[in-house]
Amino acid sequence: MGTHYKDKAWWQCVCECGNSVIVRGSSLRNKTTRSCGCLRSQKRPERSGRNNPNWKGGPPICIGCGQRIQGTDRTRKRCRVCYVNHSKGSNHPHWNPELTKNDRERGRFFEGIHEWAKQVKIRDNYTCQICKQVGYDLISHHVLPYAKYPKLRTDIDNGVTLCNKCHRGFHSAYGFNCNARQLLEFTNSFKEYYLERNA
């Protein structure tokens, strides 16, 4: 075909399969191009899977469910689902057998606490009850302390929605052994500050 890109000689060749292809002259001389690509596709099944000389056995098998582990990490022994299930409770690598049930409940592992937090936010329409921030960075706060009133831990009436900033400000002012009166005082002080700033 003559001289083309970067003064290299290119040739139009006809493959044994009948396809026409343009090949660089140096590739023909070095025999790096021997077909239009059909030869590679023919050899691919012969070198795939177990026929590949670099075959290493494929994805590892999960010791929990017996299924092939998906992903590139060949050192894993369990699939994602079995790993999560196996890492709960006493099987967790950070499990501390010295903790009592009360210690774990004090660490917010109490059953139903997540559903309680969700219901409190739904009741308050996902709005901070102090600064009226809506929709993000919200926390379900226990009006009566979580540690001192275990029977009220999942009582929706003992919860109020606060944003993270108001929540940190309230505990910074009153500590963690607080009550409903102190929460009301903090709410009123915020309202007074807001009115003075916008007066």
pLDDT tens, residue by residue, 28-53 = 788 777 777 777 666 565 666 666 66
State the pLDDT at residue 24.
Answer: 80
- The rounded mean pLDDT for the chain is 79
- Whether this model's pTM surpasses 0.85: no
105-142 burial, b at 16+ Cβ within 10 Å, e below that, comes to beeeebeebeebbeebbeebeebbbbbebeeeebbbbb
* Residue 180 · residue 187 · CB < 8 Å: no
Whether the pLDDT of residue 126 is over 90: the answer is yes
Distance CA 197, CA 199 (A): 6
Tokens of residue 162, six digits:
């606060």
